[in-house]
Amino acid sequence: MIEAEHATRVVDAHLRIIASGSGGNLSILTLHRLGLPPRHVCIDLGIGPRTLARRLDEHAPDVRFEDIAAVLVTHPDGDHLRSTWRRTLDATEWPVYAAPSHHAALAAMAAPPRLLRPLADGGREITILPGVITATTALAPHDDHGSTAIRLRVRTTRGDLRIGWATDVGRPTEELRSLLSDCEILGVESNYDAALQAASPRPPFLKARITGGHGHLSNVQALDLVRSLATRTTPDRVVLLHLSRECNDPDLVRDLWGAHDATLARRMHVAEQDRPIGPFDLFDRRPVEAAVGDEGGF
């Protein structure tokens, strides 16, 4: 059975962003293989288990906790691993992949140490599910610990599917650009609008922390990053993550993208804090052109 699982390629893949923003981040990649139960990989557990269960009940009843195969945690902040997960993680035995430099902090927050697995190996690929999905990472600047940008490679019946993920990444470094190149699917944070940030009542130290290269990407930085990646391979879909409630506005983001790159704008979706978006069919190689305005919502 185990060998059959490993030898069986993915025939269908979906992505849902269950929650995104400073109130909590959680996304689910679902992989289908013929004759086998689906396998879900969570990226971050920044909303608690009860909130997740409620959102799945309401929006994604096909996602069951028992089919979750692994969890990837980008970095040890409470909006990416909520402390209320400890008991559930203990009971489920899901492996929790994270950068080794984050393990101690994640263990103190919620992750039982025996479940922690390294999500970085000097630039080499880490196997998440043997024969099915691997990850390569780069540690991006973000506050004290940094944040793990991830490139997933899914082995499918149509060849490899590459998914790039970059949230809380401080600034677009060369390492980040090279990690995310040639991805069909991109999840990139677009945290703030620079003018709204500057005009906000936030204290200067906080503004400096967010915008100073060790905080978050602005809307313009996110667009520039994706456009520079798209010069080689135009991604099929781009999901913009972690929008600030206080210093951003989805309409501003859509206007910005529409004004600079109509093709990418049609392939772009804005994730939300309180409502899941997706499921996005990752095998759909000509997405949204025929469905402008469709957020892929439920």
Q: What does the binding site for Zn ion look like in residue numbers (CB under 5 A)?
A: 79, 168
CB atoms inside a 10 Å sphere around CB 61? 8
Asked if 94 and 70 touch (Cβ cutoff 8 Å), the reply is: yes
Q: Residue 168 or residue 193: which is nearer to Zn ion going by CB?
A: 168
Q: How far is the CB of 235 from Zn ion (least distance, A)?
A: 22
Q: Residue 69 or residue 169: which is nearer to Zn ion going by CB?
A: 169
Asked if 155 and 127 touch (Cβ cutoff 8 Å), the reply is: no
**Residue 56, C-beta contacts closer than 8 angstroms, at least 6 positions apart:** 18, 63, 64
Q: How far is the CB of 217 from Zn ion (least distance, A)?
A: 11
Q: Residue 19 or residue 223: which is nearer to Zn ion going by CB?
A: 19
Q: Residue 154 or residue 186: which is nearer to Zn ion going by CB?
A: 186
Q: How far is the CB of 230 from Zn ion (least distance, A)?
A: 25
Q: How far is the CB of 234 from Zn ion (least distance, A)?
A: 27
Q: Residue 168 or residue 184: which is nearer to Zn ion going by CB?
A: 168
Tell me, what DSSP letter sits at residue 113?
G
Nearest to 43 by CA among 11, 76, 70, 62: 70
Q: How far is the CB of 77 from Zn ion (least distance, A)?
A: 5
The tokens 């608690």 sit on which residue? 48
Q: Residue 215 or residue 278: which is nearer to Zn ion going by CB?
A: 215
Residues facing residue 270 across a β-bridge: 240
CA distance 157 to 9: 6
For the four alpha carbons of 138, 149, 236 and 260, in that order, the dihedral sign comes to negative
Q: Residue 136 or residue 167: which is nearer to Zn ion going by CB?
A: 167
Q: How far is the CB of 80 from Zn ion (least distance, A)?
A: 6
Q: Exposed, middle or buried: residue 51 (CB in 10 Å: 0-12, 13-18, 19+)?
A: middle
Q: How far is the CB of 114 from Zn ion (least distance, A)?
A: 26
Helix, strand, coil share (%) of the chain residues, nearest 5: 30, 30, 40
